[in-house]
């Protein structure tokens, strides 16, 4: 007999409660509980319990560590170097990898492209598109497709049956929000359904040693039953991000049980699929030859990779009493702080001006070393004096206007040198152990924003 019950589930961490609560006791988030109707029969309840305590291959007996064979864990190396890098050197057998991102960013394209180019047997299960639609996309991307099997299915029991029979080397699920498990009677995409399906996929991956890639959508607000809830279940979480109006995409590691989370993969979306960007500094300039005012280049490090990125500022007289501030790809509060520092320490009149800031290529930069370039771009636009295009910057700006040290300065200088820049401005305190003779680029040091102002604009 199926019994129907109503529970309340937290959309952030997946905790459940018999009644609605305003604040989740587990993760502390507010207003995340939603009502779910569940009907389960008793047999499936028992099954449900079983996956929570899965029997391991070693027969539930403690095994001394040296006796466990590590050879079984040989990674499956993808033809996509960026993906290998982000996963920490290839796909681990039996691992469950979640690829999250906003709708339309290119998740399906990324994984279909992997399926078409990797020379092993793949099962690509789609609950979003029909076989014909996938075929059209595959034709667009091109590549060897003889090993790639497509299945349009949303029922987990059926799709796992097919996977067991086919025994692919990699299973791809597009997307977790469309799957539904017959053991649970709530809507696809709901908290309990997503958790149940992920649990079933995890059990399949661990028992069969077949790696499983799961696509999960997130919305700007963090979705109803979003990948947030799955982060605990899966082995690795990769986030695919970028501005949809630009062509560059970044694949970031949020969690990885088998590698570093500092890695980063960069792609460019083209008419025939995603292209790997192995030399990220090519994102750089908007190809200006002249020294236009309001633009400066930052020597940043994203993940483990040095990257030169152009920052652009526009400072113009405000027509309103409270001037506008807008930033794309940069934290607005940090921009306000930098403006306050320039106003107070250098005496520049930003308070009467509108300020717009933009990071080229639609990228979002978290590296604090970008501060110095932003400050230069701001002053350059205000004074209407261009910064020479062969000059770049790497330094953090503190509240008293001091230029602070940044990590891995040598790597930044080296990259700027390799790209033919003539000068790089860094913090005066960042020169410990630095051998300036090694580089052709001239390393200039500044201690305060005032010094930078006089060096560049006076």
Annotated binding-site residue numbers for ATP: 101-108
- The residue ranges that bind Mg ion (CB under 5 A) are 108
Site for ligand TYD in 193-212 (CB under 6 A): none
Q: Would you call the peptide bond into 175 cis, given omega within 30 degrees of 0 as the criterion?
A: yes
218 vs 413, which CB is nearer to ligand TYD?
A: 218
Choose the one of ligand TYD, Mg ion, none that binds residue 43, judging by a C-beta under 5 to 8 angstroms depending on kind: none
Site for ligand TYD in 112-171 (CB under 6 A): 137, 140-141
**Least separation, in Å, of the C-beta of 361 and Mg ion?**
23
Residues contributing to the annotated binding site: 101-108
106 vs 294, which CB is nearer to Mg ion?
A: 106
Secondary structure of the chain as H, E, C letters: CCEEEEEEEECCCCCEECCCCCECCCCCCECCEEEEEEEECHHHHHHHHHHHCCCCCCCCCCCCHHHCCCHHHCCECCCCHHHHHHHCCCECCCCEEEEEECCCCCHHHHHHHHHHHCCCCEEEEECCCCHHHHHHHHHHHCCCCCCEEEEECCEHHHHHHHHHHHCCCEEEEECHHHCECCCCCCCCCCHHHHHHHHHHHHHHHHHHCCCEEEEEECCCCCCCCCHHHHCCCCCEEEEEECCCCCCEEEEEEEEECCCCCCCEEEEEEECCEEEECCCHHHHCCCCCCCCCCCEEEEEEEECCEEEEEEEEEEEEECCCCCCCEEEECCCHHHHHHHHHHHHHHHCCCHHHEEEEEEEHHHCCCCCHHHHHHHHHHHHHHHHCCCCCCCEEEECEECCCCEEECCCCHHHHHHHHHHCCCCEEEEEHHHCCCCCHHHCCCEEEEECEHHHHHHHHHC
225 vs 441, which CB is nearer to Mg ion?
A: 225
204 vs 267, which CB is nearer to ligand TYD?
A: 267
Residue, CB closest to ligand TYD: 108
Site for ligand TYD in 47-106 (CB under 6 A): 101, 103-106
Site for ligand TYD in 99-118 (CB under 6 A): 101, 103-109
Site for ligand TYD in 239-278 (CB under 6 A): 269, 271-273
**Least separation, in Å, of the C-beta of 332 and ligand TYD?**
27
107 vs 117, which CB is nearer to ligand TYD?
A: 107
Choose the one of ligand TYD, Mg ion, none that binds residue 140, judging by a C-beta under 5 to 8 angstroms depending on kind: ligand TYD
**Least separation, in Å, of the C-beta of 222 and ligand TYD?**
16
**Least separation, in Å, of the C-beta of 110 and Mg ion?**
10
**Least separation, in Å, of the C-beta of 223 and ligand TYD?**
13
Using CB under 6 A as the binding rule, whether residue 361 contacts ligand TYD is answered as no
Residues that bind ligand TYD (rule: CB under 6 A) add up to a total of 15
133 vs 328, which CB is nearer to Mg ion?
A: 133
**Least separation, in Å, of the C-beta of 274 and ligand TYD?**
7
88 vs 101, which CB is nearer to ligand TYD?
A: 101
**Least separation, in Å, of the C-beta of 107 and Mg ion?**
5
- Give the binding site for ligand TYD (CB under 6 A): 101, 103-109, 137, 140-141, 269, 271-273
């Amino acid at each position: 007999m199926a019994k129907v019950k109503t529970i309340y589930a937290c959309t952030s961490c997946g905790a459940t409660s018999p009644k609605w609560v305003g604040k989740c006791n587990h993760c502390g988030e507010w207003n995340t509980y939603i009502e779910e109707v569940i009907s389960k029969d008793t047999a499936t309840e028992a099954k449900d319990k079983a996956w929570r305590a899965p029997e391991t291959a070693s027969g539930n007996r403690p095994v001394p560590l040296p006796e466990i064979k590590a050879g079984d864990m040989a990674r499956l190396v993808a033809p996509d170097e960026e993906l290998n890098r982000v996963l920490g050197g290839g796909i681990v057998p039996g691992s469950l990898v979640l690829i999250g991102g906003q709708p339309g960013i290119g998740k399906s394209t990324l994984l279909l492209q992997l399926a078409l180019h990797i020379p092993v047997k793949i099962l690509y299960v789609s609950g979003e598109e029909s076989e014909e639609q996938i075929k059209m996309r595959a034709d667009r991307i091109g590549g060897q497709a003889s090993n790639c099997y497509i299945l349009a299915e949303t029922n987990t029991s059926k799709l796992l049956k097919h996977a067991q029979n086919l025994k692919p080397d990699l299973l791809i699920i597009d997307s977790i929000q469309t799957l539904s498990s017959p053991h649970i009677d709530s809507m696809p995409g709901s908290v309990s359904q997503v958790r149940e399906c992920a649990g079933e996929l995890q059990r399949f991956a661990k028992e069969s040693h077949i790696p499983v890639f799961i696509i999960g959508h997130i919305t700007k607000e963090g979705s109803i039953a979003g990948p947030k809830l799955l982060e605990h279940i899966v082995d690795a979480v990769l986030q695919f991000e970028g501005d949809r109006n630009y062509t560059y995409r970044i694949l970031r590691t949020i969690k990885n049980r088998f590698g570093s989370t500092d890695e980063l993969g960069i792609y460019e979306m083209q008419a025939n699929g995603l292209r790997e960007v192995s030399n990220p500094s090519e994102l750089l300039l908007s190809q200006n030859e002249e020294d236009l005012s309001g633009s400066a280049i930052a020597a940043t490090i994203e993940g483990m990779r040095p990257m030169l990125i152009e920052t652009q500022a526009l400072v113009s007289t405000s027509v309103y009493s409270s001037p506008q501030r807008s930033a794309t790809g940069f934290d607005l509060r940090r921009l306000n702080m930098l403006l306050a520092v320039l106003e107070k320490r250098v005496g520049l009149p930003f308070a009467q001006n509108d300020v717009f800031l933009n990071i080229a290529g639609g990228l979002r930069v978290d590296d604090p070393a970008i501060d110095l370039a932003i400050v230069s771009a701001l002053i350059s636009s205000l004074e209407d004096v261009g910064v020479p295009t062969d000059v770049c910057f790497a330094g953090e700006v503190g509240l008293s206007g001091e230029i602070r040290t940044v990590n891995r300065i040598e790597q930044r200088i080296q990259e700027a040198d390799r790209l033919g820049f003539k000068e790089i401005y860094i913090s005066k305190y960042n020169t410990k152990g630095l051998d300036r003779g090694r580089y052709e680029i001239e390393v200039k040091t500044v201690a305060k924003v005032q010094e930078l102002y006089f060096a560049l604009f006076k």
